[in-house]
Structure formats: C-alpha cells, structure tokens
Structure 1
C-alpha cells in the first residue's frame, strides 16, 4: 500500500501545482500584449530610450511647468494590474467577477508604493469568488423587476468593501512580501548564486510546473524591477531559448530515428516560434539530458549577471524575436551572448550524453510526447508541431480519411480496417475510411494515414491533408489519437454527427469495403480467397526472405500470381516493412506488380519459432494478392482478429486448418 500511495500523492501534488500554475498563467498570458506594449513604449520613449519623448516617457515638465505624467507610469501602476485582476475575476465568475475583482484591486494599487501585480493576482480572483458566493445567497429570491437594482448595488457595495480591505489589509502584506522577494533576488545576484535557480527552473519546465514560478513570481517581480531600474534579469531566467536549442542541435548531429529527423524542424519552432514545449519529449526520451538544459540555463543567467543585462518586459513566447524586441537598449550584447553561450553549453553536454548512449535503444518520440501530455494533463502543442513523429492534430474538419501504402492492397487495407472499426465503435458513422496506393492518391482527403517511411511521398501527393504516420498497422496508438480528435471535433460541431445523413448505397466496391457493406458479387468471390490448402500451421522458413518465398509459393499454387509477383514481394520489403504488429506480417507485391495478379488469394502461415522481420518478431505471415478489391472482405476479418489479443491467442493454439478458418469468420462458408 505504501509503495503505491507515495507516487499517487506525488502525482496529486504535481497536478495541484500545475493547476495553480495554469490559473496564474491564465491571468498573465491573455494580457501579454499589454505587457509588450508597455515594454515597447518604455524602451522607446523614456529618458534613456531610443526615442526619448518627455510627454510619453514621463520625464521633464510640460508647457505649464507641471511634471509630465507620460504613458509608462500609469500603464504599469494602473492598467496592467487592473487587466490582471479583471482577467482573474472573470475566470472565476465571468464579467461580474472581473469587474468586482478590478474594483477590489484599486485598493491595493493606491495603498502600495510599488506596482501591485501580486496584489492583483490575489484580489482579482478573490473578488470574483466572493461575489459568486454572495450572489448565491439570494439566488432565486429577488422579486421580479428588482434584479438589476440588486445586482448593481451588491456588486458596487461589495467592490467598495474589498477595495478598502485591499487598501488597509492586503496592500501592506503584499508590499512586504514583494520587498522581501526582491531582496532575496538581489542578494542572489550580488552573491553570484542566481544561476543556481536553473537547477529548479529547467526540470520544472519539463514537468510543466514552471507557470507557478514564472508567472506567479518572476514576471511580477521582474516588472517591478524593470519599473525602478529600466530592465530585469528575471524575465530571462525561464524564457531563454538557448538551452532547449542546444538539446535539439545535439539530436540533429547525434540522435537517431524519428528524433534525429524531426529535430531540425523542432529547433526552428522552438527558437523562432518560441514554443519551448516542443523539446520536452526529447528530454523525456533521455532524462539525463536535463543536465544539459540546467548547464545551459546556468551559463545564460551567469552571462546576464556579469554583463548586467536584462529585458524591459516579459518575453512571451520565448522566441529569440520576442527576446530581442524586449531587450534593454544597453543589453543587446549581454542578452545575445547569454543565448549563444547557453545554447553552446547545452549542446556540448547533450552531445556527450547522446554519443555515450548511441548503442542503447532509441526512445520512442511519440511515446515521450504522450507521456509529456499525461504530465501536462491535456493535449500538447508538441503533438501538432512534432509532425515528423506522426502527431495527430488538425484545424480542419475530418470527414474523409485514407490509409495509404505502396501498393494499396495489403498494409493499407488492414490498417484501414482496424482504424475504421475504432471510428465506428466511437459512433462516428459519417467519417469514411478507405485505403489507396500512394501512386493513386489525390489531394481530396482530409487526413492521410501512412507508414512513417512513406510520409514524404504522401505529403507530395496530398499537400492539403493532415498526415499521420504510423509504424505499427495493427495496434498503433495513433488510431486512438485520431478517435480522440474526432471526439473533440464532434463536441464542437453546431449539430451532432448523428444528424448527418450519409449515402444509402456505396458508389463503388472501394466504398463498399470502407462502409463494410456486403455487395453480392464481392461476397461470392471472397468466399474462395482463403482456401484450406493455403493455410499452413507450421511454416518451414527460418528468416524473413524464406517466409516471403513460402507465402509466394502458396499464392502461386492457388493460381493467383506468377514468379514476377513473388519477386515484387521481396522488393516491397526493401522500401517499407509489411510488419503489422501483434506478431503479424502481410507480405505483398508493389503497385507495379499488380499486372502479375491473375486472381485474388490470401495465404496463412504460422511459425513455431518467431521470425526476425526487420527487427520485429513475427509468428504469423499472411500473403496477399488482391484483384479488383476482392480480397478486402477477408482482410477486414484478419484485421479484426489480430486487433483482439484473445483471437490471436486462439490462432496460436489452433490445432487444425478448420479452426483457423473458423476464427477468420468462416470465410469458406
């Protein structure tokens, strides 16, 4: 009990911190535009700015001799805290909560001598929450015609009470906390230990705990520091893009597989787009790489401290463009140097770690992305942006899905059947799932599901479609992601999908296969596709090439193909593996080999000892030759069988050919 309770409590604690951080972020992030506007005005028009303007920068006197107020002071003193407070109150109790929260925040603003961002993050939600509780007291008890009077006066009276409470009670406390926190930061800077914060910040980023620190403490303190000193180092403690870029560059040079292939695109998105989340899965694949980002972060902070550099406002997102736009006029050298050095140190450490572990099995980038989403508690942008790894996300409506492979008759038909069954089981009857060869693809599909080695060819054929790559046709987790996406799509539809009227009759054999509608002439031909003599319960091959030959001999014996087709079955494996998952491989010819098919046939061979199929373990080999879609019915049944572990176990235990045929749905009946 104790061994499971501790992780559960830890997970709950982390989820609680994430939730708190998300709430704080929800008050800051919607108002980042206002922070940027204030930062630009400050950088341009203050006395030491690029274009000093007394009336805008708030220095000097006007024509009457009175001091200029300017934009800088009122924006940071009133506008920004009130925006934060309104956003926080609105998140709790809609517009009414936002208004009361803003009124309450005026009390802490007037009562403090420093910008009250922390006070606003307290009073805004507090105002919304307390107003919500008060309204609940007389909900449904107000006489008709008096609702507006009660609502307006209750909000006004309670807002005034909270403003006084903020002025006398909250303002001194928050001011003391802010002063203490600022003193701690200044002490760390003077003592040269501020870089040590990376030991906590960098792991917190990967665990999605950074919002509580960054938006709850660093941003408010940074703004106060920038208001008094013109800039702050605190804005770059978390937002420096250098450490993450270093890790991605290391993967570009020393990574393997999907991680290496996707790293260049991820680096551009992270460094230019500012989406730091994109590199988190790469660290989760090799957790030791967190040392690289810690080292890079410490180097960047040390550089900023030594050069006395900083930003004038928050950099959000953490793009190099946003960082440079918010850099103080006297800090460009220090800021740029901090990014370069942080990237360099991170790259060197990550390179050593990756090179030292090159002989180990490469982690699964897609699995790491899913693990990251589990920690985050919701879908991640990385799922969309790591498209090279097959992430499933799209902004367009999905109605027409095609499963594509080289020939369009084996792998794609099996994969399409598995995906179609999942989509139908989820209730999305209006979504069609067909299969097609890549050579025959047209840019008319909403989504294309394809083996990862064929993704580039599919993209060239269907530039408008969402490409989803898989490496396991039978049990890919991407199928569940597609279903989740369709569920989300259905939830946002103005009318339920169940109200959509589809075709009453399929227009073609392909549509009939997609809709699982039985067409009489297809059924008549399909019943003889898998014959008893084409089922072998104990294969004689010991390797992949031998297994392909054995399947080819059975297809020839059935009068379905010639020697050229068997040769094309071997050629097919050199381009894309026909391993399907769950111990199944379905060797078949290339698209060019279709003229060598005389009739449709399917063969089944079971092996006592697993066969190494390009690194995958295979116990069942299903040979396929399909003519005019006649093989789709049996393929659909095979896909259904191998998608069920109990049925696979029955196949392993089958003692007779009739048992195998019965498992596949009595296809000879």
Structure 2
C-alpha cells in the first residue's frame, strides 16, 4: 500500500508541476482558441488581418508564458520567470513546431539554474554591487540556456514531440483512443485530472489543433457526460443524502464545470467506477466516430466552455453534443443498475472523507488535524501562529479573505463565491478573492482559507496570516462562523466611529415588534439544531399561507441573516446576545421555545393586525 501511495504521489507531483505551468495561463489558451475559431479562413468570421494573430500567439506567446510561469514556480517569482522565459525562446527558435513541452522543461530549468547561482554567489557579493551582479547573472545565464536551447534542447524536444504525436496518431487511426478513458476516468477520481489534462493532453492537443484545426484530445478528460450520468442516477435511484444532494451537484458539475463534486459519489460505491469508465469510453468513441474535436482546451470542463471551443460547423456541434449525451446515457444506465441492485444506502459523508484522504495522499501531503465535522488548523506550522478557533479577537484585524487551492480556479473560486454571497447578505463589507496557493502572499491582516491537504503549504507561504483549513470548499459549515465573527468585528468598528450606531433591542413582547415592517421571518435555535428550526419555519409558513399572507419563514444559520428591519428573527434566549453583536438592524423576538404552537398562532395574529 505504501509503495502505491508513493508512486501515486510522485506521479501527482510531476503532473501538478506540468499542469501548474498551464493552469494560470488558461485565459491565454482560450484567447488563442477563440481567435482561431473566429478569424482563420474556415472560422466563423474570417478576417485576414486578425488571422495574423494566430501563428505568433501559438509559436511565441503561449510557450513564453509557460516558460515564465515554470521559472517563477521554481524560484523567486519574477527573477526565476525571466530566466525561464529567456531559456524558452531558445527552444522556440531551435524547433519548427509549437514548443509547449520544451517550455515545460527549460522554464523550470531556468528557475533552478538561477536559484543555484544565487545560493552560491549572493552571500559573497560586496555591498553596493547587488543589482549589478543580479541583473548580469540573470542575463548571462538566461542567454546561455537560450543558446543551448537552440542547438540541443529544442531539436531534442522537437524529436520527442514528433514521436509522441506519431504515437497519438497511431492510437487514433487504430481506433484505440476510447481505451484511454479506462485510465483517465479512475485517474480523475484520484485527483490526477489536472495532471492528465493540462500536463499531457493540452500540449499534445495544441500541437494537433495547430495542424488540423481541432483536436479530440481536448475532449477526453473535460467531457462532463460521465459525471452527469452518474449524478442523474443518484438523483433518481439514490437514497438519503446522496439522492437529495445530487441535483445541486449536477448544476455545479455540468454547468459550472467543477468535476470534483461527483468524485465522492463514485467512492461511496466503488462499482460505480464502471459507470464513469463506460461513459468516458463511449463518449470518446462517439467523438472519434463523428470526427469531432475542439479548437482549444475548455477550462473548466463546463458544457458552456466545451461549446465555446467547438469549431464552426453544424456537424461539429452535433458531434460534440452527441458524444456528451452518449457518455451521459451510458454512465446513467450502468450507475442506475448498480444503485438499483444496492440494498443498503451509500454513506456519502464517509465517501467525502475518503475523497479528502485520497486527495491528500495523491499530493503527497498529510491532512491537517481535524475536529468534528470540519477542520481548522490547530497546529503551529514552522513556528507560525495558526488559527484554532474563529473568535472576534482572532479576526479583529482581518481586511481581506483569500481562498487558495492548487490551481487557483474551480473549487476555490466556488468557495470564494459562496462566502462572498453570505457576506453580502450579512452586510459584511470585505474583499473575498481566490488564487493559486503557489502565488499566495498574505500578512496578518488576511484570512486564508484552504483545504486540509494544503494547510502546510499555506503556513509556509503566509506564516503570519490567519489560516483556516476546511474539508470541502463547497459545503463547509465553517463559513457561517467566519461571517458571524467578521460581522461582530465590523459592528465593533462602526461603534468606535459612531457612538450612536443603532443596535437591535431584543423583545419578549410581540406587541413591541414593528409588524408592519416585517417581510420575512427567520428562526434560529441557540444550539443550531436544524430539526426544531425547520419544524418551526414549516409550520409557521403553512399558517401564514392559510391566512393569505405573503410573508414566509425559514430556518437559517445565525451567520446568514439579512441585516434589515424587514427581517424578524425569532430566537431562544441564549441566541439573542449573539445576534445583538452581529447585526444592527434586524428585529429580534426572544422566546423560550421556537416550536410552540401558541407562538406560531400569535405571530400570525400580529401580522394580520399589522396588515389591517
């Protein structure tokens, strides 16, 4: 077992390094793909002048930014990137094909060479000569690498690329390409998706698309059909939490392109690997049969991104959509048969935990210490202060929140969007962004949110920042706690600047509530038990509807209340003080129990009086 993990970790690290040079620059690849799809002679809007952009971008711009990114990943950001870019121009000139693989080799090589030089030479530089030595060393070493690239590395990589491309062409011509999904689909579940797509298929696909105008390789890993079919099967034939969560997962996976959302569903019942493999193989076979491909890599793997990268022609669109549908149907049928035969419910929560463990192992890092359902880093990393709770004091100086993930896209963007939406509803005014963890630079005024397996790296990149590690960017209950405490801190700042800043006064008397202003009712229980809050909200909503009122009631976490006078929050005594510290404008009704039928009836009567 240990040997397998070691191999997987090594493969992941290599693939992660390759994909790490492509992922931050996906926008450039998409720009090239769109320009190609629109303005080449066979494009949607043929334009001779704009078509001149296609070749220089493919030959120079894309490899150079890959080389710069590769160098900056290895050493010192800009300095390593500059040497990597200089080295890359050598392999470009030394070959007659798009030099993506060459850029992935010499870019990091340039960063490594200048790092070694600096480690040896910089301690010996006399004071006042630092800039002179640094500038000339970067120029000289970069220039030497460029010369070596022209005469040696460029021709060597060009030969290697030709061999690889010949192999791909042979597999395609032999109609064996669909078998690649036998390996691709399980590898995705093991979190090798970025390594496979951006690290291997994208460079080969770009070269193929430059010659043929499109490449089927862009469709092998991003095809959303297998995941969609699996989730549809859970929606119709699943049980419990897996069944109820499947519709939301479909939106995130198929429309949003975040394929990681369906990985726990597969792991909940390993036989479902057959479903996604069957979907992937059948989808690729359909793409190959109909001779379709994409202009450039779609990222993320959303159906919208795939259609945007589809070349002009009704046949291309029909072929791509057909391939996705075939993959969906095959995956659905196999998954439905497996789920229908299953006598026991699948444990989706346990599968999510297993997914996190596998993701950590694949990346060769250990998970953070976890507490209960979620995880917050509770260990000092390299002597840095780590956030083991989210008290007001911990977050009193926070001026921004950064979500950091491996690629800086996908899951971290979704997490940032979720927290941003909750912050807006709670009236918390704070910047919330996302980025790749390798680009993370944060001080003590920043709260960094990462997944468990990246907590160690976050501590190294931002040792003075406040850090929180979560199991899943899409479903973490820790967000409520973050919003609550940021709101409390913000109210404290308002009070410091304005001693007359209003605060809500909780009332136990229904007659003291301004019922004419009430537009919505929130139930919050002091121990956050959803059952009692859900019962109260459901029963009161039914009674209000029967009385002809358009006011609705909901059970909400304490951090998701809309801070407005039109919100009436009904809470137990123990929760009222927390609301006072976190909101300025809501109306608060304190009650001994939120599940009292007398309470519900009294609320309905007061609302009817207010309307009258």
Fold conserved (TM > 0.5)?
yes
Correspondence 1:509-520 to 2 at 5 A: 510=574
Give the corresponding residue for 2:435: none
Give the corresponding residue for 2:322: 337
Q: Is the 2:532–2:595 Cα contact (8 Å) retained in structure 1? A: no
Is 1:32 the equivalent of 2:26?
yes
For 2:529 and 2:164, the matched residues in 1 are separated by: 54
For 1:446 and 1:41, the matched residues in 2 are separated by: 55
Q: Any idea what SS the aligned residue of 1:51 has?
A: coil
Structure 1 residues without counterparts, runs of 5 or longer: 1-6, 58-69, 403-438, 468-507, 515-587, 596-669
Is 1:460 the equivalent of 2:575?
no
Q: Is the 1:278–1:381 Cα contact (8 Å) retained in structure 2? A: no
The CA deviation at 1:465 is 3.3
Is 1:355 the equivalent of 2:340?
yes
Report the CA distance shift for 1:17/1:340 in structure 2 as closer, same or farther (over 3 A). same
Give the corresponding residue for 2:595: 591
Give the corresponding residue for 1:213: 196
Give the corresponding residue for 2:245: 262
Is 1:225 the equivalent of 2:208?
yes
Give the corresponding residue for 1:75: 57
Give the corresponding residue for 1:139: 122
Is 1:84 the equivalent of 2:66?
yes
Paired residue for 1:397, among 474, 477, 482?
A: 482
Give the corresponding residue for 1:307: 290
The CA deviation at 1:19 is 2.2
Report the CA distance shift for 1:43/1:450 in structure 2 as closer, same or farther (over 3 A). farther
Q: Is the 1:365–1:389 Cα contact (8 Å) retained in structure 2? A: no
Give the corresponding residue for 2:305: 322
The CA deviation at 1:394 is 3.2
Any idea what the Cα deviations from partners look like across 1:446-505, whole Å, max 9, x if unmatched? 9994447966959934388369xxxxxxxxxxxxxxxxxxxxxxxxxxxxxxxxxxxxxx
For 1:388 and 1:145, the matched residues in 2 are separated by: 48
Paired residue for 2:232, among 244, 249, 261?
A: 249
Paired residue for 2:133, among 139, 143, 150?
A: 150
Any idea what the Cα deviations from partners look like across 1:248-288, whole Å, max 9, x if unmatched? 00000000001000100100110000000000000010111
Q: Is the 2:480–2:558 Cα contact (8 Å) retained in structure 1? A: no
Give the corresponding residue for 1:559: none
Is 1:364 the equivalent of 2:347?
yes
Give the corresponding residue for 1:11: 5
Q: Any idea what SS the aligned residue of 1:334 has?
A: helix
For 1:445 and 1:154, the matched residues in 2 are separated by: 64
For 1:446 and 1:55, the matched residues in 2 are separated by: 65
Any idea what the Cα deviations from partners look like across 1:262-320, whole Å, max 9, x if unmatched? 10010011000000000000001011111111111111111111111000000110000
Give the corresponding residue for 1:162: 145
Give the corresponding residue for 1:174: 157
Report the CA distance shift for 1:137/1:189 in structure 2 as closer, same or farther (over 3 A). same
The CA deviation at 1:25 is 1.8
Q: Any idea what SS the aligned residue of 2:221 has?
A: helix
Is 1:22 the equivalent of 2:116?
no
Report the CA distance shift for 1:187/1:137 in structure 2 as closer, same or farther (over 3 A). same
Q: Any idea what SS the aligned residue of 1:591 has?
A: coil
Report the CA distance shift for 1:512/1:273 in structure 2 as closer, same or farther (over 3 A). closer
Any idea what the Cα deviations from partners look like across 1:183-208, whole Å, max 9, x if unmatched? 11111111111000010000000001
Report the CA distance shift for 1:284/1:103 in structure 2 as closer, same or farther (over 3 A). same
Is 1:195 the equivalent of 2:178?
yes
Q: Any idea what SS the aligned residue of 1:397 has?
A: helix
Report the CA distance shift for 1:447/1:263 in structure 2 as closer, same or farther (over 3 A). farther
For 1:395 and 1:98, the matched residues in 2 are separated by: 39
Q: Any idea what SS the aligned residue of 2:31 has?
A: helix
The TM-score normalised by the length of structure 1 is 0.59
Q: Is the 2:63–2:103 Cα contact (8 Å) retained in structure 1? A: yes
The CA deviation at 1:391 is 3.7
Correspondence 1:288-307 to 2 at 5 A: 288-307=271-290
For 2:89 and 2:274, the matched residues in 1 are separated by: 44
Report the CA distance shift for 1:368/1:452 in structure 2 as closer, same or farther (over 3 A). farther
For 1:391 and 1:142, the matched residues in 2 are separated by: 50
Q: Is the 1:101–1:127 Cα contact (8 Å) retained in structure 2? A: yes
Any idea what the Cα deviations from partners look like across 1:576-616, whole Å, max 9, x if unmatched? xxxxxxxxxxxx99831799xxxxxxxxxxxxxxxxxxxxx
Q: Is the 2:275–2:334 Cα contact (8 Å) retained in structure 1? A: yes
Moved more, 296-305 or 167-176: 167-176
Aligned length: 426
The TM-score normalised by the length of structure 2 is 0.64
RMSD: 3.4
The CA deviation at 1:212 is 2.4
The CA deviation at 1:92 is 1.3
Give the corresponding residue for 2:609: none
Q: Any idea what SS the aligned residue of 1:460 has?
A: strand
The CA deviation at 1:36 is 0.5
Structure 2 residues without counterparts, runs of 5 or longer: 361-366, 368-404, 419-470, 488-509, 514-519, 539-552, 562-571, 579-591, 600-612
Report the CA distance shift for 1:195/1:158 in structure 2 as closer, same or farther (over 3 A). same
Report the CA distance shift for 1:45/1:153 in structure 2 as closer, same or farther (over 3 A). same
The CA deviation at 1:114 is 0.6
Give the corresponding residue for 1:423: none
The CA deviation at 1:175 is 1.1
Q: Is the 1:258–1:388 Cα contact (8 Å) retained in structure 2? A: no
Q: Is the 2:524–2:555 Cα contact (8 Å) retained in structure 1? A: no
For 2:247 and 2:139, the matched residues in 1 are separated by: 55
Moved more, 176-185 or 251-260: 176-185
For 2:102 and 2:480, the matched residues in 1 are separated by: 38
The CA deviation at 1:176 is 1.5
Report the CA distance shift for 1:389/1:23 in structure 2 as closer, same or farther (over 3 A). closer
